[in-house]
Amino acid sequence: MEWSEEFSVGVRKLDEQHQKIISLINMLSDNQDDAHLFISDRDNLLALKEYSTLHLQYEKIRVSGFR
């Protein structure tokens, strides 16, 4: 998957975070056919989980500030 301006939410920091998440997902996808990259995939999956958790916390705070 490639980032597209169609995905933009119009908030630079959120868009940058969304781009990073797509990049992490792509790393997993790129390695799916290479069994020897299992450890790398595990590390990438952990990074995706941690980054997504931080992103969702930030997004929740950001959205709650608009109410």
Domain ranges of the chain: 12-64
Q: Is the dihedral of CA 35, 36, 37, 41 positive or negative?
A: positive
Q: What pLDDT was estimated at residue 12?
A: 94
pLDDT of 49 > 90? The answer is yes
pLDDT of 13 > 80? The answer is yes
Q: What pLDDT was estimated at residue 32?
A: 62
Q: What is the number of helices (H) and of strands (E) in the chain?
A: 2, 0
